[in-house]
């Protein structure tokens, strides 16, 4: 299968940010009257857009979250990421070994994505090909974001390879008729081994294969492109 475009999720794939984001999200929800732990945020909302998670939380609360909740959460997460997030180990060297076009398609808002990529030192490797769920009507697990990215990058969906760490992300890629690999190398997989998506779950969701070291990716791309079995 020819591969013309590699689409990367950001959080948990390019940058090791999921533990940070879940902790801040839990703190903000608890302050807003919805008591929840970082582990529970991880279990329920990893890979989902804020619109979808807020809708679920408000239904359980029976009321709206504060009007400024989203803005306050986004600011708190961005401030924390700006000082503490790190790129996934070996990500810069791995990107240098990929010859295909690459882009980012993330559920995060543009400021969050940009802050994370700059802090990790890989923003210029992707810019301006950085796409956010805020640019489409429906977030993951719907296919809208990946299809939008493919159109903007002038690539046919069937010639795109997506790198995702979450089940909603894998489902979105498959719904977009794209090949997808499940990445399990982030700190959230190490810190939440029981609740993190297991390889079998990612495969059931539609991943072609899973891997846990980003340095494996270039060889996997070559094998997929040449029709070899992973």
Looking at every residue in the chain, the average pLDDT score rounds to 93
Please state the rounded mean pLDDT for residues 147-167. Answer: 97
* Residue 219: pLDDT over 70: yes
What is the pLDDT at residue 189?
Answer: 77
- 221 and 203 co-located in one domain: yes
Q: Which of 57, 84, 111 is the last residue of a domain?
A: 84
- What is the domain-level CATH number for residue 198? 3.40.50.1000
- What is the domain-level CATH number for residue 56? 1.10.150.240
Please state the rounded mean pLDDT for residues 108-133. Answer: 96
- 9 and 92 co-located in one domain: yes
pLDDT over 70 percentage in the chain: 98
pLDDT in tens, 194-209: 667 789 999 999 999 9
* Residue 19: pLDDT over 70: yes
Burial status of residue 124 (CB atoms within 10 A of its CB: 0-12, 13-18, 19 or more): exposed
Assign 211 a pLDDT band (cuts: 50, 70, 90): very high
Please state the rounded mean pLDDT for residues 15-36. Answer: 93
- 134 and 211 co-located in one domain: yes
Do 15 and 116 contact (CB within 8 A), yes or no?
yes
- 10 and 27 co-located in one domain: no
- 195 and 215 co-located in one domain: yes
What is the pLDDT at residue 152?
Answer: 98
- 110 and 37 co-located in one domain: no
Please state the rounded mean pLDDT for residues 206-230. Answer: 96
* Residue 142: pLDDT over 80: yes
Q: Which of 27, 58, 84 is the last residue of a domain?
A: 84
What is the pLDDT at residue 98?
Answer: 98
What is the pLDDT at residue 18?
Answer: 82
- 126 and 51 co-located in one domain: no
- 97 and 62 co-located in one domain: no
What is the pLDDT at residue 1?
Answer: 76
- 74 and 164 co-located in one domain: no
Q: Which of 26, 49, 84 is the last residue of a domain?
A: 84
What is the pLDDT at residue 43?
Answer: 82
CB atoms within 10 A of CB 60: 8
- Enclosing domain of residue 200: 5-16+86-226
- 57 and 113 co-located in one domain: no
* Residue 7: pLDDT over 90: yes
* Residue 190: pLDDT over 90: no
* Residue 148: pLDDT over 90: yes
What is the pLDDT at residue 195?
Answer: 62
- 73 and 123 co-located in one domain: no
Instruction: Give the chain's domain count.
Output: 2
Q: For residue 7, report the phi and psi dihedrals to the nearest 5 degrees.
A: -105, 120
- 39 and 97 co-located in one domain: no
pLDDT over 90 percentage in the chain: 82
């Amino acid at each position: 299968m020819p591969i013309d475009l590699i689409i990367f999720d950001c959080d948990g794939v390019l940058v090791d940010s999921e533990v940070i984001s879940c902790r801040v999200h839990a703190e903000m929800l608890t302050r807003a009257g919805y008591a929840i732990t970082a582990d529970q945020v991880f279990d329920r909302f990893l890979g989902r857009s804020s619109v979808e998670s807020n809708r679920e939380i408000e239904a359980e609360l029976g009321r709206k979250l504060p009007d400024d909740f989203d803005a306050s959460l986004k600011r708190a997460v961005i401030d924390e990421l700006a000082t503490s997030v790190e790129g996934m180990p070996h990500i810069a060297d791995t990107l240098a070994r990929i010859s295909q076009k690459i882009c980012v398609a993330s559920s995060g808002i543009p400021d969050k994505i940009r802050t994370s990529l700059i802090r990790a030192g890989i923003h210029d490797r992707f810019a301006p090909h950085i796409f956010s769920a805020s640019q489409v009507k429906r977030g993951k697990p719907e296919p809208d974001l990946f299809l939008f990215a493919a159109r903007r990058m002038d690539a046919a969906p069937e010639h795109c390879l997506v790198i995702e760490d979450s089940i909603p992300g894998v489902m979105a890629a498959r719904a977009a008729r794209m090949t997808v690999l499940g990445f399990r190398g982030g700190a959230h997989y190490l810190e939440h081994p029981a609740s993190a998506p297991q390889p079998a779950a990612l495969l059931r969701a539609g991943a072609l294969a899973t891997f846990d070291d980003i340095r494996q990716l270039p060889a996997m791309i070559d094998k997929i492109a040449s029709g070899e079995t992973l």
